[in-house]
């Protein structure tokens, strides 16, 4: 239905105002940048406050580029009217304008801030204590100084909130947010991303809007090698608004670790950490035979098959053979093997073809092993999918863990969940795409 004339006119006026505002912002940015280049200045300064806002233009209400944490160095390009144009590496590489009075020549240290606190007037101690907490968030003394300063000023509610933050930082607990479904997360290289929502009927679905799952300081149950291994806590640097991920630390670590890799959940999926078993020779032999069969189905030549099965894991190029054995509760010992291999191009104008095979074997009760699950894939280009075993976790409480595979895809990864039914392992879910 056509809109009446007046609303159409109003829409046109609003659109014109938007274009004008955008043009003004561009002009302001260009003018500030030109003035900066006309009078360059070099050097390094350090954030002196709990966090300094970096803005696209030198104006307090000029938008936001990043929040630069205390003691972080910034490289100066110029200084103008009480603002500096600078670049910073944390929390991510960024360039913009920062108020000059929020920076200082030397980085603040715990010793210098303690001295400032001792010399501060009573009404200034809260500000200094906040800086101590920002610089050393996992040390109890700074939190206590802040609580004392708030109490002395008569701010009982502020002191209560400061104590709650202290407790969450120093002794994080896993939690499930109000109204939140059961969720499975992956933790890889110190980042967390939701990969599946688990319904009351046991079915798996896409996790949905991830931003709400990552409020700063929330805790998640952390699992590695099928067992509980502590708490993963969201840091105050969430990336969920961009990529569906958040930075996490594995307590008691005080920062993100590139080595942190496993699963997490907002519910206690398991209580014990079983030992990882060595791969029995007979299980390895059975798994490799099953992989050979899968590669032969894809018409891979024998020589290439043997090269693939001798290749060590290369996670940078996503190639090679991996075999894992473990006790799978009521299913007994299980061995999972995956192989991924690139075949040479069939012609001068053709691309490489990647082949992949997965085999799951279990003991047959007679000293041998039988194949109880498999998948094969052969593809190239943007349709590439290369599954590798990631971890295991009992998600439904039946004493048999689900198997989680990480599936390499074009510019990202997704995840498969396999479950055991009637003596066979089947893939029941694939989703949770995370870009790389």
Q: Per residue in 249-287, pLDDT tens?
A: 999 998 888 889 999 999 999 866 777 788 999 999 999
Alpha-carbon distance of 429 to 404, in angstroms, equals 10
Q: How would residue 380 be classed by pLDDT, with cut points 50, 70 and 90?
A: low
Which residues contact residue 397 at a Cβ distance below 8 angstroms, ignoring those fewer than 6 apart? 269
> What whole-number distance in Å separates Cα of residue 436 and Cα of residue 429?
21
- In a shared domain, residues 431 and 289: yes
- Rounded Cα gap, residues 313 and 304, in angstroms: 16
Total domains, the chain: 4
Is the per-residue pLDDT at 18 higher than 60? no
Cα separation, 46 vs 128, whole angstroms = 16
What is the per-residue pLDDT across 194-213, written as a single tens digit (0 to 9) for each?
999 999 888 999 998 777 89
Report if residue 6 sits inside a domain.
Answer: no
Q: Is residue 17 part of a domain?
A: no
Contact 90, 72 (CB under 8 A): yes
Helices (H), 246-347: 281-297, 302-310
Contact 116, 124 (CB under 8 A): no
Domain that holds residue 144: 110-170
**One domain, residues 298 and 425:** yes
The verdict on 232 and 281 lying in the same domain is: no
pLDDT of residue 5: 39
Domain boundary among 265, 297, 315: 265
- In this structure, the answer to whether residues 428 and 353 fall within a common structural domain is yes
**pLDDT surpasses 60 at 242:** no
| Same domain, yes or no: 135 and 232 | no
Q: Are residues 290 and 422 in the same domain?
A: yes
Task: Report the CATH number that the domain containing residue 160 is assigned in CATH.
Answer: 1.25.40
Residues 346 and 386 in one domain: yes
Within this chain, do residues 329 and 393 fall inside the same structural domain, yes or no? yes
312 and 417 both lie in a single domain: yes
Rg, the chain, Cα only: 28
Residue 24 confidence (pLDDT):
64
- At residue 359, the pLDDT reads 97
Q: Are residues 261 and 281 in the same domain?
A: no
Residue 5 maps to a domain? no
Q: Are residues 362 and 231 in the same domain?
A: no
**Does 196 fall in a domain?**
yes
Q: Are residues 306 and 334 in the same domain?
A: yes
Cα 239–chain centre separation: 8
Last residue of a domain, one of 135, 170, 205: 170
Q: Residue 252, preceding bond cis, omega within 30 degrees?
A: yes
Residue ranges of alpha helices (H) inside 87-139 are 110-119, 125-135
Inside any domain, residue 117: yes
Summarize pLDDT for 20-41 with one digit per residue, the tens.
455 666 787 888 788 787 878 8
Q: What is the CATH number of the domain that holds 81?
A: 2.30.30.40
Q: Which of 224, 240, 265 is the last residue of a domain?
A: 265
d(CA 326, CA 347): 42
């Amino acid at each position: 239905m056509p809109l009446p004339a007046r609303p159409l006119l109003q829409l046109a006026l609003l659109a014109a105002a938007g274009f004008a505002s955008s043009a003004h912002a561009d002009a302001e940015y260009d003018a500030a940048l030109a003035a900066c280049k006309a009078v360059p200045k070099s050097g390094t300064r350090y954030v002196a406050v709990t966090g300094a806002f970096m803005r696209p233009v030198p104006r307090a209400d000029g938008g936001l580029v990043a929040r630069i944490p205390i003691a972080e160095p910034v490289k100066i390009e110029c200084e103008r009217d009480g603002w500096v144009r600078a670049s910073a590496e944390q929390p991510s590489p960024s360039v913009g304008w920062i108020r000059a009075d929020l920076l200082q020549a030397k980085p603040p240290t715990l010793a210098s801030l303690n001295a400032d606190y001792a010399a501060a007037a009573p009404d200034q101690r809260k500000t200094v204590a906040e800086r101590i907490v920002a610089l050393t968030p996992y040390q109890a003394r700074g939190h206590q100084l802040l609580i004392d300063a708030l109490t002395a000023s008569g701010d009982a509610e502020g002191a209560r909130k400061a104590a709650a933050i202290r407790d969450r930082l120093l002794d994080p607990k896993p939690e499930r947010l109000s109204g939140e479904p059961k969720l499975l997360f992956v933790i890889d290289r110190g980042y967390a991303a939701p990969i599946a929502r688990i319904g009351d009927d046991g079915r798996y679905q896409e996790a949905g809007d991830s931003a709400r799952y990552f409020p700063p300081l929330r805790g998640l149950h952390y699992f590695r090698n099928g067992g509980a291994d502590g708490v993963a806590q969201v840091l105050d640097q969430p990336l969920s608004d961009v990529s569906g991920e958040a930075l996490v630390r594995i307590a008691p670590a005080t920062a993100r670790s590139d080595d942190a890799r496993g699963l997490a959940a907002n519910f206690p999926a398991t209580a014990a950490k079983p030992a990882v078993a060595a791969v029995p020779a007979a299980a390895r032999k059975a798994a490799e035979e099953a992989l050979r069969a899968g590669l032969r189905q894809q018409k891979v030549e024998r020589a290439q098959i043997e090269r693939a099965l001798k290749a060590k894991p290369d996670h940078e190029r996503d190639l090679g053979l991996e075999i894992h054995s473990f006790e799978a509760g009521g299913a007994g010992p299980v061995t999972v093997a995956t192989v991924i291999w690139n075949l040479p191009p069939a012609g001068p104008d053709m691309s490489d073809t990647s082949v992949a095979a997965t085999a799951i074997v279990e003991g047959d009760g007679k000293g041998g092993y039988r194949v109880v699950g498999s998948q094969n894939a052969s593809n190239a280009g943007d349709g590439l999918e290369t599954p590798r075993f990631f971890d295991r976790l009992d998600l439904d409480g039946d004493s048999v863990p689900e198997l989680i595979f990480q599936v390499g895809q074009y510019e990202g990864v997704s995840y498969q969940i396999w479950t055991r039914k009637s003596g066979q392992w089947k893939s029941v879910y694939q989703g949770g795409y995370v870009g790389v």
